[in-house]
Structure 1
Amino acid sequence: MFVGCDIPKNVCVDKLYTFFKTSFKNNYSFVGESHDFWEMVFVCDGTVGITAGSDVYVLERGQAVIHEPNEFHRIWSEFDTNPTVIVISFSASLFPKVQSRIMNVDSQQLKTIDSLYRKAEECFKKNDVFISDIKDGCEYDAGHFIAVFELFIIELMGKQSPSVSNSVKSAEIYSSAVKYMEENPGAGLCIEDIARECSISGAYLKKIFMKYSGCGVIQYYNRLRARLACGYLINGKSVKETALILGFGDQNYFSTFFKRVMGISPSKYRSDAGRQTKYPDEF
């Protein structure tokens, strides 16, 4: 009698959104975004600054970062270099546990990811950098591409390095400020509250947030609160309950706040919860 052996999968990539290679000018700075799928950035040349959630890193050739779904991320050129990066974004129903956002990539792995990029160019239709469909007659090649990409992820994630520490004082302040906001979404914090917690001036805090998040301090805090509100509403909380959890004593004021950030009223968002996955795109 044949019993067989079940073999669990480690990775299952379901959909590709982008797979592109680009070079930045030495003054390039991307405002930042968040989305509900994974993203990996490989540095092929030069040096980049990366914001990932509340953390900030400086990455050089041979390093990569992975952004989990719904994590705010931002990238910019560092040290007057013209960096070249490969960016892949995808959804996955199975994915290994991320021990460290930052990974060291050897020369052979850089060649592999560059080869995958060229293969993606052959297999997929694109609208600018966005993948829209499989090219006619390339169905087999697209399936082979995904299989190789999944194996590459398994190899890469199996050799994760300890997190890169960041000794830049402004990056440490940014991280502390974001964590303070995340711990106090219902406190209705103002710039002075956050600056006081970080033992710096409000003016300096504003400069730090523009550098690492691309937006103002309170704008970041409001988007953080709106993101939490989305989660509560999707999971069945009433508009009134959500308002109270987030420190809004006035439900009408909360509704005005939510619509200003999200472009839709909380009651409408909640009624569409079964179909709703929208969060603030640019956190």
Structure 2
Amino acid sequence: MLKPVPVEPVLSVKELYTLYYFHHESGYRFAGESHDFWEIIYVDKGRASGINGTEPYTLEKGQIIFHHPNVFHNFRTDGAPDAEDGADCDIFVVSFNGELEMLEQFRDHIFTLSMHERHLFREMIEEGKQVYDKPFGKNLVYRKDAPHEPEHLPGAKQMIRNLLEQLLISLYRKQQECPAQVQSLPMQSLGMEYQIVRQVVTFLDQNIYNNITFVDVASHFNLSETQLKKLFREVTGYSVMQYYRKSVVGRIEYHIRQMDKNFTELADLFNFSSIHYFSKFYKRETGHTLREYLKSSQDVSLP
């Protein structure tokens, strides 16, 4: 009599958050965010660059990067002057969570995809169109007005999960067997300017609760304000304080989602002089209030 052979998964995707395909024109910039789930950025056409934690990165066509949970990241189009498609960029974004401990070894790495792996992305998009009957270009796995509406085609979300797990296992094998197709960050040869920017980003992250100023940063590194501004923007495409403020907002929202402190305690944690200035800072940076974010984070239900 045959005995069953147990199947022990090496990873498991449990939740889907986003599934997007974007076309971005030359000059597009996304200021950045951090969140408590995993995210993949895949460049289908053009070239993109940004910061992943403390590391600057550049993605060419056919490459992906993983954004780990609670790591600040941003993005901008970065087409080569002689590129066939100009400086426009098409990217695929998928974010998810689950039992994914083995993905920790993907930290600060860029993967060059095989044709099979690229095809898995395209299949995910096609399945995403079948989750809800809605215009393409939206978040294909989530619709806020009706998150529990039945799938347009039964099993579409499960197919996306299966395709994503296939991709993750393929990348894991590639890292083990074909290291030449996996590159550690940063892709750029680390000249002095990149070393300084990495140190600045690390300093900002270490002081995320201290409400520091641009003068504090320049003084710490013994750089003139003009020199620091130029250097940081040339490497990252963003200003020092824009990066810092977005990091602070991301950490504030993390604490709100965890519901581990009230707003007064958060104002004190982030070294604001009062709840009034703390609330004003958050409203200025995000366009909505702390209470609005708290409500939206509680209302969101996954499909």
TM-score, normalised via structure 2 length: 0.71
Q: How far apart are the structure 2 equivalents of 1:31 and 1:88?
A: 13
Partner of 1:159: 174
Q: Kindly report which structure 2 residues correspond to 1:134-149, keeping only aligned pairs within 5 A, or say none.
A: 138-140=153-155, 143-149=158-164
Contact (CA 8 Å) 1:20, 1:86: kept in 2 or not?
A: yes
Select 1:183's aligned residue among 206, 212, 215: 206
Q: How far apart are the structure 1 equivalents of 2:13 and 2:163?
A: 11
Listed one character per residue, the Cα deviations across residues 71-106 of structure 1 (whole Å, up to 9, x for unaligned) are 322132243234654413232223242323433334
Q: Kindly report which structure 2 residues correspond to 1:59-78, keeping only aligned pairs within 5 A, or say none.
A: 59-70=59-70, 71-78=72-79
Change (3 A) 1:131 1:273: closer
Stretches of structure 1 that go unaligned for 5 or more consecutive residues are: 278-283
Q: How far apart are the structure 2 equivalents of 1:141 and 1:128?
A: 15
Does residue 243 of structure 2 align to residue 243 of structure 1?
A: no
SS at match of 1:139: coil
Partner of 1:33: 32
Q: Kindly report which structure 2 residues correspond to 1:126-141, keeping only aligned pairs within 5 A, or say none.
A: 126-132=134-140, 138-140=153-155
Select 2:115's aligned residue among 108, 111, 115: 108
Larger CA deviation: 228-237 vs 147-156? 228-237
Letter in 1 for 2:163: V
Larger CA deviation: 114-123 vs 87-96? 114-123
Contact (CA 8 Å) 1:44, 1:61: kept in 2 or not?
A: yes
Q: How far apart are the structure 1 equivalents of 2:95 and 2:197?
A: 28
Q: How far apart are the structure 2 equivalents of 1:111 and 1:229?
A: 36
Does residue 229 of structure 2 align to residue 200 of structure 1?
A: no
Shift of 1:40: 1.9
Letter in 1 for 2:154: E
Partner of 1:98: 104
Contact (CA 8 Å) 1:51, 1:75: kept in 2 or not?
A: no
SS at match of 1:123: coil
Listed one character per residue, the Cα deviations across residues 113-168 of structure 1 (whole Å, up to 9, x for unaligned) are 35425634763545342244699763246533431231122111333335233325
Listed one character per residue, the Cα deviations across residues 156-205 of structure 1 (whole Å, up to 9, x for unaligned) are 13333352333254443332222111111343322122123334321233
Change (3 A) 1:176 1:51: same
What root-mean-square deviation, in Å, do the aligned CA atoms of Structure 1 and Structure 2 show?
3.8
Partner of 2:280: 256
Contact (CA 8 Å) 1:181, 1:221: kept in 2 or not?
A: yes
Change (3 A) 1:250 1:52: same
TM-score, normalised via structure 1 length: 0.75
What is the count of residue pairs matched by the alignment? 274
Stretches of structure 2 that go unaligned for 5 or more consecutive residues are: 142-148, 176-181
Change (3 A) 1:213 1:13: farther
Q: How far apart are the structure 2 equivalents of 1:265 and 1:138?
A: 38
Shift of 1:56: 0.8
Letter in 2 for 1:163: S
Letter in 2 for 1:246: F
Contact (CA 8 Å) 1:52, 1:67: kept in 2 or not?
A: yes
Shift of 1:226: 3.3
